[in-house]
Chains A and B, each alone.
Chain A
Amino acid sequence: MFTLCLEFKIIMPRKRRELYNKEICACSIFGAMNRDGDRFTAEGVMKAIANMHVRGNGLGGGFAAYGIYPDYRDYYALHLMFTGHDWEAKRSAKQDFDAFLCENFDVVHDEEVPHRDESTVTDPPLVWRYFVLPNKKGDEAQLSDEDYVVKKVMWVNTQIEKAFVFSSGKNMGCFKGVGYPEEIGEYFMLDRLYRAYTWTAHGRFPTNTQAWWGGAHPFSLLDISVVHNGEISSYGTNRWYLEMYGYACTLQTDTEVIAYAADLLMRRQHLPVELVAKILAPPIWNSIDRMNESERKLLTALRMVYGPLLMNGPFAIIIGQTGKMIGLTDRIRLRPLTAATRGAMFYLSSEEAAIRLISPQLDDVWTPNGGEPVVGELKNIRMVKDEVIRLS
């Protein structure tokens, strides 16, 4: 009987596993935040990320911006990417999505995300934004607005072919694509059309996955966005764990799991960022053994409970959030991250030179210890009343 079982197992056809969910890169990451809440265009950030041009290879660039939609600050801003070989395919993906959207959300405004036609980017998808409120019905009425949005985002990304929600927060948005980050910034005219109190940016060097518009950084869910330099070698375990909580990894890049882990831990489980850092990048057991009893107990418990969310492998990340910008590296800092302040400005960057380019004088410059988060917070979020800047 035992032998039979074994044979049966051996001849069982194995489920085909996709092996392309891996990347190693020497990406560039950059973040700038005005802690007074004063908003600024992406001009400086684009200069800074362009200064680290050689870290990427032109196969991905992107930005996350906080505070860009003050007129629609109470609505979820969904940024959609409709891919396809030709215009018809993109339109048809949009039609599928629109039908879904009308059923599940109230749309107050929608438009194509403005972009330059003469730009050098290749094969851009149709990028559209919708400002929406949840229209919860039936059993789903019990869900919180956020849970509802997350559920619907996951549904779209897994069920509607060629439609991807890549940004879904309030008063924030991601812009990304295939190209150098400065090209993507120009394509979406980030230096002219938007003003944000926090910008994060990314230049990509993908080696293990193909470059496509959805696979560029940042990765975002609700108002959390992540840009990442490194490789998550624990991707399989992390992905499997997050799937249990309803997060579907569909964008073919390892960084996606960090965005979903941050949403799970920070929004749903209300953990402070200091603890989240110790979950994603826990100290090694040797170091835990040397701590005092209460710390040791806490960190042991975190490693037991959240083992599958440990992000193994080298990484430096910038997490953006409403009113916050967080920098974190892996526990032995195998990827670079420099932090700096100048007055109300708070900077995070792969290289100090990029910061110095746009702010030659700095009050403080340091390289944070591995596994220890650096957090910039808005001292006060000003209720900015000014108009949304539109294309003339």
Chain B
Amino acid sequence: MTKAYPAEARSRGQKRVQGRVCSGTAEIDAAGLETRELNDHLRDLMLAGTEKAVLKDVCGQRYIGTRLYSPEHRKMEIEIFGTPGNDLGAFLFGHKIRVHGNAQDGVGNTMDDGEIVIEGRAGDVTGFSMRGGKIFVRENVGYRTALHMKEYNEKRPVMVIGGTSQDFLGEYMAGGIVILLGLHGKPHKGNFIGNGMHGGVIYLRGSVDKTQVGGQVDISPPDEADREIIERYVSEFIERFPEIGLDKEQILNSDFVRLSPRSKRPYGKLYAY
């Protein structure tokens, strides 16, 4: 049988960068590579000044794009074919990742800056503790999306989801912007939206029932400033996914609702005495 971790892949100190490097673009065949080896390769490529890395046959390797910090703040583009493993782009330091397919759980976990584009669906805890950068998901996302997303001064994370989300969207959210476009054409069924939310804002295209959102969340129509934000990020979304065949107006012509927290300290009274 084929083992996930063949002996030849396990031994260290082989030629580090497999594959071809041409005009700033490198290709890595990820089949059979361990998580750590793949990320070592990526790091070597970044330090060698590669502008773009194309990963072929990715299958479950985790933390792709993490550990890519350099003192000169080098930036790289990473293109992924296959299915990346959990925590894709964790702690991402300003790089750009595009996945031609679905992603698993924990996309953009605590990401700092950069951009992640998923041409498919993403799993649970997408954008968990995200503190900067942008995530675009063409289809749906799983549970606990944008869990404890946060913002500080000029760092304001943005997530745009083409479809819808399962339960606990924006749980304990402390900052940032989440936009759900509902392009899958069905009502949003997620419950417990914004449970414990105390910062940031969620925009939903379509409608949501009061019982679906957490007690601390206000549902209101978006004002002019909100409209501008929505328009900007919807434009960016369709730029990244021209294949959906919709233009900006078709999406913006529908109603949006704005979900925002009533209080910055929802549990102040619960724990203070």
Contacts and interface: CB of A to CB of B under 8 A. Distances in A.
Contacts of B84: 353
A320 B168 CA distance: 30
Interface string B55-90: 000111010000000000000000000111110000
A191 interface: yes
Interface string A152-170: 0000000000000000000
Majority-rule SS of B interface residues:
loop
A336 B106 CA distance: 11
Contacts of A46: 1
Contacts of B104: 336, 338, 351-353
Given A356-B83, A367-B123, A367-B142, A47 B2 contact: yes
A207 to B, nearest CB: 19
A325 interface: no
Contact of B143 (A191, A352, A356, A370): A370
Interface residues of B, number: 28
Contacts of A336: 104-105, 123-124
Given A54-B35, A369-B167, A357 B59 contact: yes
Interface in B166-186: 166-168
Contact of A357 (B35, B60, B191, B211): B60
A230 to B, nearest CB: 14
A54 B86 CA distance: 11
Nearest to B106: A336
Interface in B122-148: 123-124, 142-143
A263 interface: no
B82 A53 contact: no
B143 A333 contact: yes
Interface string B86-111: 10000000000000001011000000
B18 to A, nearest CB: 20
Contacts, number: 72
B143 A287 contact: no
Tier of interface size on chain A: 20 to 34
B240 interface: no
A354 B84 CA distance: 11
A356 B102 CA distance: 10
A183 to B, nearest CB: 10
Nearest to A290: B211
Contact of A356 (B2, B59, B123, B168): B59
Contacts of B12: none
Contacts of A338: 104, 123
A365 B211 CA distance: 28
A51 B123 CA distance: 18
Q: Top 3 nearest A-B pairs by Cβ distance?
A: A353-B60, A353-B83, A50-B4
Interface of B: 1-5, 35, 58-60, 62, 82-86, 102, 104-105, 121, 123-124, 142-143, 166-168, 191, 211
